[in-house]
Amino acid sequence: MKILVAVKRVVDHAVRVRVRPDGSGVETENVRMSMNPFDKNAVEAAVQLGEAGHADEIVVVSIGPRQSNDVILTALAMGAHRGILIEADGRVETLAVAKLLRAVVDEEKPDLVLLGKQAVDDDSNQVGQMLAGLLDWPQATFASEIKVVGGGLEVTREVDYGRATIGVALPAIVTADLRLNTPRNAALPMVMKARSKPLAVRPVAEFGIDVAPRLKVEKVSPPAERPGGRKLGSVDELAAAIKSELSELEAL
């Protein structure tokens, strides 16, 4: 099968972001950026399907500023074959991202599209589901296991009550959860090799899709601070403190 993987360049997950004092957003200048962690799981899943003989071509696509080349190169170093960067500056909303991805699907005709289940910057958790809706394909979101069975997939999903296993026919959309796999760190020769793999850069305007945001971000504010409290000296004090919390709760 042919697999398309969508990846996003985001503020590194280990960075604690700061809200700009004027409320216009979070500070992204001079902040470490990297591939969205869930997208790494998606790339890894695609590469593993390739290694198991189920996939013969893996195409990676990213939508974002020119620097998103970085994350495409990371995916190519992990084992993807070819990259596409749809160059777009500024905020591109999830619905526009899904429409751009549909255009890429129409061109590339993959059997499977893998995405991360959410991006750790806007935490939207929307694009995979939207792409599935636009294409009218089945979706298996929040995947922690993917098996190729017959001509389709058996996907185990992380859900509120535990896990659920579903069967989907191809073509399909699968979004990756963190427990799907452990993404590899590409070895240096693979990183060097990635630079010679094809990477097409295409301006967003080429697609003729309206990407103007429909939601207005009025302001961005920091969350309420938790000032911290008291340190106790013994387990007895802790038991007493918890008991008094419990009686307060009963009184409520």
Partner 1 sequence: MAVLVLAEHDLGKLSASTARIVAAAERLGPVHLLVAGQGVAEVAAEAARIAGVEKVLVADSPALAELTAEAVAKLLAELAEPYGHIVAASASTGRDAIPRLAAKLDVMPVTDVIAIHGPNRFDRPIYAGNAIETIASGEPKHLLTIRASAFRPAQSGNNAPISAVGPDVAAVAKFIAAHRTESELPELSTAQIVVAGGVSFGSAERFALVEDLARTLGAAVGATRAAVDAGYAPNDWQVGQTGKIIAPDLYIGIGISGALQHLAGIQGARKIVAINKDPEAPLMKIADIALVGDLFEVVPQLIAGLKR
Window 79 to 98, contacts with partner 1 (CB under 8 A):
93-95, 98
The maximal CA–CA distance of the chain, rounded, in angstroms, is 68
Among 168, 176, 186, 211, binds partner 1 (CB under 8 A): 168
User: Beta strands 9-11 and 33-35: pairing type?
Assistant: antiparallel
Binds 200: which of ligand FAD, partner 1, none (CB < 5-8 Å by kind): none
Binds 249: which of partner 1, ligand FAD, none (CB < 5-8 Å by kind): partner 1
Binds 239: which of ligand FAD, partner 1, none (CB < 5-8 Å by kind): partner 1
CA 147 to chain CA mean position, Å: 20
C-alpha 235/C-alpha 46 separation (Å) is: 50
C-alpha 116/C-alpha 141 separation (Å) is: 9
* C-beta pairs of 130-134 under 8 Å, 24+ apart in sequence: 130/94, 130/95, 130/97, 130/98, 131/98, 131/101, 131/102, 131/105, 131/173, 132/172, 132/173, 133/98, 134/98, 134/99, 134/102
Among 79, 110, 138, 171, binds partner 1 (CB under 8 A): 138
The residue length of the chain stands at 252
Site string for partner 1, 173-202 (x = CB under 8 A): ----xxx-----------------------
Least distance to partner 1, CB of residue 65, Å: 18
Site for partner 1 in 19-58 (CB under 8 A): 19, 26
Among 156, 174, 186, 204, binds partner 1 (CB under 8 A): 156
Site for partner 1 in 97-126 (CB under 8 A): 98, 117-118, 120-126
Which residue ranges make up the site for ligand FAD (CB under 6 A)? 13, 37, 120, 178
C-alpha 191/C-alpha 77 separation (Å) is: 5
Least distance to partner 1, CB of residue 148, Å: 14
Q: Is 89 exposed, middle or buried (0-12, 13-18, 19+ CB in 10 A)?
A: exposed
Sole residue written with tokens 């991805």: 101
Q: Which is nearer to partner 1, 17 or 33 (CB)?
A: 17
Binds 71: which of partner 1, ligand FAD, none (CB < 5-8 Å by kind): none
Among residues 95, 156, 157, 85, which one has the least CA distance to residue 124?
95
Site for partner 1 in 217-236 (CB under 8 A): 217-224, 226-232, 234-236
